Structure 1
Amino acid sequence: MVEGIEQFNDIRPYEPEEMKQAFNDLLNDRQFNLIMKGFAPWLPKFLRNGLLRLAFIGVKSPLDFQKRFMKPVVQYIIRKHTDGCTFDDAALKTNHTSQFFASKANKFERSPLSSQFDKHYTFVSNHRDIVLDSAFLDLLLFKNGYPTTVEIGIGDNLLIYPWIKRLVRMNKAFTVRRGLTAHEMFESSQLMSRYIHFAVTKKRENIWIAQREGRAKDSDDRTQESVLKMMAMGGDLKELNIVPLTISYEFDPCDYLKAKEFQQKRDNPAFKKSKQDDLDNMKTGIFGYKGRVKYHCGTPVNQWIDELSELPKNEFFAQLAQRMDREIHRGYTLYPCNYIALDELNGNTEQCAHYTVADRQRFETYLNGQLDKIKLADKDEAFLRQKMLEMYANPAINKGKVNSEK
């Protein structure tokens, strides 16, 4: 184990030495076996587990586990449930190329590629899917030649069964504790921040973390200052190599579930999602149709963070969050549905150059199909439609604002 990692035992992913035991515990879990039986009901348990043990041969680390088990699963999801998933990391390569030329002036000659692989990043992104945001990123890093994937922060509210906790820890996840008192939250944030710094600087890992707690259900993506303050608790922010990351879905399969929750909270301010609601969101997000998906890396924060260094502390974090937002908004890939939704909300056709009549008909059919899935006793069709249009229009609104600032 990496020296000093014991202090993070309560929240960290498994280390290589722990993988075999974790896998055995997973296979001995009754609920996990029931899940596996659902995939292959014709196979007796000893054969299912025997095949899994055979597939596990040679898996020495969480990264090996991802390559052996998770990579083909994610590839299948992309083939089956998207129209392609692409990655724009030009900002990272530009950053390393500039470092390369600076290093040549100092007689330290290295290729931009090798310099790139010396860096480990903390990707801070908007949040579209509970499970797939980091899973897609892992695969994209694989495909683009990066030496490792990302460790991810996942809320303990989603770890409702022991087998889920084991599985995500095998998949490089660390735990984010939810539902704490103010004092507990402070201590938990300190521990998590120290772990993130430890993972990047000592373990040489990348990190993925959402820009806010939970998803922005209206797709108006904003970085919470508290997330940045948490990351700063454990050390200098610059050593984390923060990269603003934009995730753009053409279609959000959970849009109708989010709209439903908007009405439930409107009608009952005390409404809280159940654990089953979280599982339904996870399942829908994984297996629902997403259209085209794009990941875009913004300018690494280290290129401009020093510009804010003289600000008072609270102002520093406010300005940092705003700059992060501009990078994320600038990175949106907009699709016809975003422009159509914006025109629908505004009652005009100002964005019509960005879509066709066929695009509009397709989006209308899609919206009606999603609205039909919502089952509520007092279903407010107009309100639900409005909320879904806002989800698709907000990326266009936010990117338009950033572009107008130029």
Structure 2
Amino acid sequence: MVDQQDPFKEIRPYRDNEVADVLSSLLNDYEFLSAVTQYQFPKWSRHAGWLLRPLVRLALAGKVGEVETIRDFQELVASYMRKMISRTTTRLTCSGIDQLDPEDAYLFISNHRDIAMDPAFVNWVRYQYGMDTVRIAIGDNLLRKPYVSDIMRLNKSFIVNRSASGREMMKALTQLSDYIDHSIQAGESIWLAQREGRAKDGNDQTDPTILKMLYMAHRKQRSFPEQVKRLSIVPVSISYEYDPCDALKANELHAKATHGFYEKGQYEDIDSIVKGITGNKGHVHVAFGDVIEGDFESPEALAQEIDRQILSNYHLHASNKIAAGVEDSVSAEERAQFDERLQLVADGAQDMLRQMYANPVHNKRALQGVL
């Protein structure tokens, strides 16, 4: 039954007046405390977890003791984000952000390489420019643990129901379509991946089905081109010099190519999130495109324009050029670093990893008409 006073209650981010209760619940969540204890003390947690958990709870309570609003929580996240960036990147750059109006709300449709870090980097650069953070679309497949869902919703994430089917799926997609439009009209920007799942092979391509969803709740009120303009869509290109999950992706692609299938582990997505956050990324660039303003009569036509901007704005790193054999302005040290990367995967998967980094070069050159 939908709450008429709060129709998006089941999927929306938490609000300020819910923060205290959610934090209290987290501090009393055995699974959450165990996960933090294991992360902080991997060697000791197995045998002394019972002793460490109360101490971890006290430490966490001290950190969140003054957190009363979503902004307070995000300021706490920002302190960890700052440390993570200094430890795992050589530099973080951005382009196109000066073309955005801080007072306007946008629907950022982004290429998708990392589960957590793609929207996190978009948020970080906006935060650095004094802009509001965005609401983040996240699939319910990543929220199997209630404490994970709570943390994400405290950080302005909203839930995309991917597990529904049949009529329930149609209802969920219509609600999602309505929520995204509602957020933009309320002055809240949105981050949405251009496709379901990461582009593990390095081919960034927008799924028109995602764009059809944006129109589902509004077909009776306005045309598709009108809805597109109403959402102020901005394509975003995120490029990593090194993908912390590249070996995992290459092994998965190799398994599919060799055996025809790949069986994902129960907590593989969570492991990928942790690896993506803590692993070396080298130089990361976030490129904001132009607001899409043309009359696009179909989702397919709109997808082509989003792809054009994402590919043309994609920043090519030395790793991409080396993989594609276009080694202009590449140093011997950069070549050695990429060779080390290749050694992290089995022989059969090395071609997959190389192709993953090379595809952005090939796609950008194809867009520019260069063979």
Q: Do the structures match in fold with TM over 0.5? A: yes
The Cα shift of 1:292 comes to 0.3
Is 1:144–2:129 an aligned residue pair? yes
Greater percentage in helix = 1
Cα distance between partner residues in 1 of 2:55 and 2:246: 39
Fraction of identical pairs, as percent: 35
- Are 1:63 and 2:71 counterparts? yes
Deviation of the 1:61 alpha carbon: 2.5
Q: Which residue of 2 aligns with 1:183?
A: 167
The answer on whether the counterparts of 1:153 and 1:209 sit within 8 Å (CA) in structure 2 is: yes
Two-structure CA RMSD over aligned residues (Å): 2.1
The yes-or-no answer on 1:119 pairing with 2:127 is no
Structure 1 residues 44, 339: closer, same or farther in 2, change over 3 A?
A: closer
Q: Which runs of 5+ in 2 are unaligned?
A: 219-226
The yes-or-no answer on 1:225 pairing with 2:208 is yes
Deviation at 1:237, TM superposition (A): 2.5
Aligned mates of 2:172, 2:255 — CA distance in 1: 31
Distance change in 2, residues 1:139/1:90 (3 Å)? closer
Q: Provide the rounded CA distance (Å) in 1 between the counterparts of 2:213 and 2:274.
A: 30
The aligned residue for residue 222 of structure 2 is none
CA distance in 1, matches of 2:157, 2:62: 24
Query: Partner residue of 1:355?
Result: 330
**Equivalence map 1:5-404=2 (5 Å):** 6-38=6-38, 39=40, 45-67=53-75, 69-90=76-97, 92-93=99-100, 116-146=101-131, 148-202=132-186, 204-235=187-218, 236-302=227-293, 305-306=294-295, 308=296, 311=297, 316-343=298-325, 351-368=326-343, 370-371=344-345, 381=347, 383-404=348-369
How far apart, CA to CA, are the structure 1 residues paired with 2:77 and 2:268?
24
Q: What is the CA–CA distance in structure 1 between the aligned matches of 2:233 and 2:266, rounded to whole Å?
A: 32
* Distance in 2 between residues matched to 1:122 and 1:138, nearest whole Å: 13
- SS, match of residue 134 in structure 1: helix
> What's the offset of the Cα at 1:125?
0.4
Q: Structure 1: which amino acid aligns with 2:69?
A: S
CA contact (8 A) 1:339 1:354 kept: no
Task: Specify whether residues 63 and 233 from structure 1 end up closer, same or farther in structure 2 by C-alpha distance, changes over 3 A only.
Answer: farther
Q: What secondary structure does 1:152 align onto?
A: strand
Q: Distance in 1 between matches of 2:4 and 2:316?
A: 45
1: CA distance between counterparts of 2:138 and 2:19?
A: 19
2:254 touches 2:352 (CA, 8 Å); kept in 1? Answer: no
Residue identity in the other structure for 1:132 = M
> What secondary structure sits across from 2:364 in the alignment?
helix
- The residue type paired with residue 221 of structure 1 is D
Deviation at 1:44, TM superposition (A): 5.5
- Secondary structure, in 3 states, of the residue corresponding to 1:179? coil
Letter in 1 for 2:144: I
Normalised by the length of structure 1, the TM-score is 0.81
> Counterpart of 1:362 in 2: which secondary structure?
helix
**What do residues 17-74 of structure 1 show as CA deviations (whole Å, max 9, x unaligned)?**
111101101111001111233326798555543443343344333222111x210111
Note if contact 1:74-1:136 (Cα within 8 Å) is conserved in structure 2.
no
